[in-house]
Amino acid sequence: MDISIREQILQRMLTILEPVATVNGATVHRSPTVALTREQCPALVLFPEAEAIVQKANDRLVRELTIKIVALARAVPPQAPETLADQLMTQAHRALFTDRNLGGLILSLQEESCDWDVEDADAIAAAIPVTYRLTYRTHQHDIALQG
Domain boundaries along the sequence of the chain: 5-146
Compute the residue count for the chain: 147
In sequence order, what are the beta bridge partners of 143? none
User: pLDDT by residue (tens digit) across 40-77?
Assistant: 889 999 999 999 999 998 899 999 999 999 999 887 66
Q: What is the pTM of this model?
A: 0.90
pLDDT given at position 122: 55
Percent of the chain whose pLDDT exceeds 70: 93
Domain 5-146 has CATH 3.30.70.1700: yes
- Report the SS3 class of residue 8: helix
Given pLDDT bands bounded at 50, 70 and 90, which one contains residue 121? low
Question: Is pLDDT of 147 > 80?
Answer: yes
- Pairwise CA distance, residues 65 & 59, whole Å: 19
Q: What is the CB neighbour count within 10 angstroms for residue 128? A: 24
Given pLDDT bands bounded at 50, 70 and 90, which one contains residue 87? very high
Sign, CA dihedral 67-4-51-135, equals: positive
Residue 104's region, left for phi above 0, alpha for psi from -120 to 50, else beta, is left
Q: For the residues 75-93, what does the mean pLDDT come to?
A: 85
Query: Which amino acid is present at 34?
Result: V
User: pLDDT by residue (tens digit) across 8-49?
Assistant: 999 999 999 999 999 999 999 999 888 887 788 899 999 999
